[in-house]
Copies of this chain bind each other. A is one copy, B any other.
């Protein structure tokens, strides 16, 4: 009961996935389906007594390798397609109470390698035009399982946000002969006001045009398209920078900050995306300790984002914060 329906007005697909309505919703820790299966305990999604990083197909997938034929008939203006693709779950650790910021660097490196490996495997499939690694963290963002985990979707067409990024990067490369992202990175490095943290090979900063108050983008200094293009020292640096950014987030208001983490890699549709530059975007929904940024009329209805803060101010705040070990935070 899943299909893709074309929206000719916005020029994009909507995925319907009705079986998801009944998915597991915030179970208590003892019923967590992402914990290891312990002797004498409940059988979880992971039939092992322990693991390091676990990857498996989502039990409630919106996209799959063998979708059923659509239930509804399409038309010339509203075609319908089967939901080809993949939805995988990536469990970061067997420890139910951990977060991305509490994991040892070794584990985060491993996680980056898993993301890179799955991108290669899924991206090689004919039906995968784009592999999207992401994490939804916190109930404020709609998470249905608290155990630290992320997801990987393989879409059968390049999804709208990535398509716009790829088109603008390609147009910039065509027009200027240079990478748009490299240009932005040079501009931000020269200015400095919006930098949050940096290493030899990666830069984290609040974008000049941030939509969310504490939005942070992590960009490699070298022009690469995919996680699997990264060299060993770049993976080390990314692991360290991820921990730094997430621990700064946790220091911001003294609680585990909810966020969406979106890893934007070059599409895998076989097109020429030489101008596209790997980057990782974080969108925390909080605009203050107690108030959230909502996507309301202007954002959802017109697509015009209003940011109630100045990127220079939020970057300064994040830059000056001492990263906080999540183990010191009461949950």
Chain A interface main SS type: mixed
The reply to whether A180 and B77 contact each other, CB–CB distance below 8 Å, is yes
From known contacts A78-B187, A312-B72, infer whether A142 and B10 are also in contact, taking CB-CB under 8 Å. Answer: no
Q: Does A64 contact B (CB under 8 A)?
A: no
Q: Residues of B contacting A187 with CB < 8 Å?
A: 75, 77-78
Which of B9, B135, B310 interacts with A168 by CB under 8 Å? B9
Measured in the bound complex, the distance between the Cα atoms of B77 and A303 in whole Å is 21
Min CB distance, A128 to chain B, in Å?
A: 13
The reply to whether A172 and B300 contact each other, CB–CB distance below 8 Å, is no
The reply to whether A8 and B172 contact each other, CB–CB distance below 8 Å, is yes
Measured in the bound complex, the distance between the Cα atoms of B33 and A87 in whole Å is 48
Task: Mark out the residues of chain A between 136 and 163 whose CB falls within 8 Å of any chain B CB in the assembled complex.
Answer: 136, 141-143, 151, 153, 155, 159-163
The reply to whether B310 and A18 contact each other, CB–CB distance below 8 Å, is yes
The reply to whether B304 and A134 contact each other, CB–CB distance below 8 Å, is no
The reply to whether B21 and A287 contact each other, CB–CB distance below 8 Å, is yes
The reply to whether A160 and B303 contact each other, CB–CB distance below 8 Å, is yes
The reply to whether B260 and A208 contact each other, CB–CB distance below 8 Å, is no
Q: Residues of B contacting A208 with CB < 8 Å?
A: 5, 78
Q: Residues of B contacting A214 with CB < 8 Å?
A: none
Task: Mark out the residues of chain A between 263 and 298 whose CB falls within 8 Å of any chain B CB in the assembled complex.
Answer: 264, 281, 283, 287-288, 291-298
Which of B14, B288, B310 interacts with A16 by CB under 8 Å? B310
The reply to whether A262 and B302 contact each other, CB–CB distance below 8 Å, is yes
Q: Does A255 contact B (CB under 8 A)?
A: no
Q: Residues of B contacting A10 with CB < 8 Å?
A: 161, 164-165, 168
Q: Does A309 contact B (CB under 8 A)?
A: yes
Min CB distance, A295 to chain B, in Å?
A: 6
Q: Does A11 contact B (CB under 8 A)?
A: yes
Residue count of chain A within 8 Å CB distance of chain B: 86
Which of B21, B62, B184, B294 interacts with A77 by CB under 8 Å? B184
Q: Quick one: CB contact mask for A299-315 with B, threshold 8 Å, 1 for yes?
A: 01111111111111100
The reply to whether A260 and B301 contact each other, CB–CB distance below 8 Å, is yes
Residue of chain B at shortest CB distance from A130 = B302
Closest 9 CB pairs of A and B: A142-B294, A262-B301, A160-B303, A134-B297, A161-B303, A7-B209, A159-B304, A159-B302, A136-B296
**What would be 9 A-B contacts, judged by CB atoms less than 8 Å apart?**
A5-B208, A9-B180, A21-B287, A134-B297, A136-B294, A155-B302, A162-B302, A262-B297, A295-B300
Given contacts A10-B164, A77-B187, 12 further A-B contacts (CB under 8 A): A7-B207, A8-B172, A8-B180, A9-B168, A18-B309, A62-B306, A78-B209, A130-B302, A153-B298, A160-B303, A161-B303, A262-B297
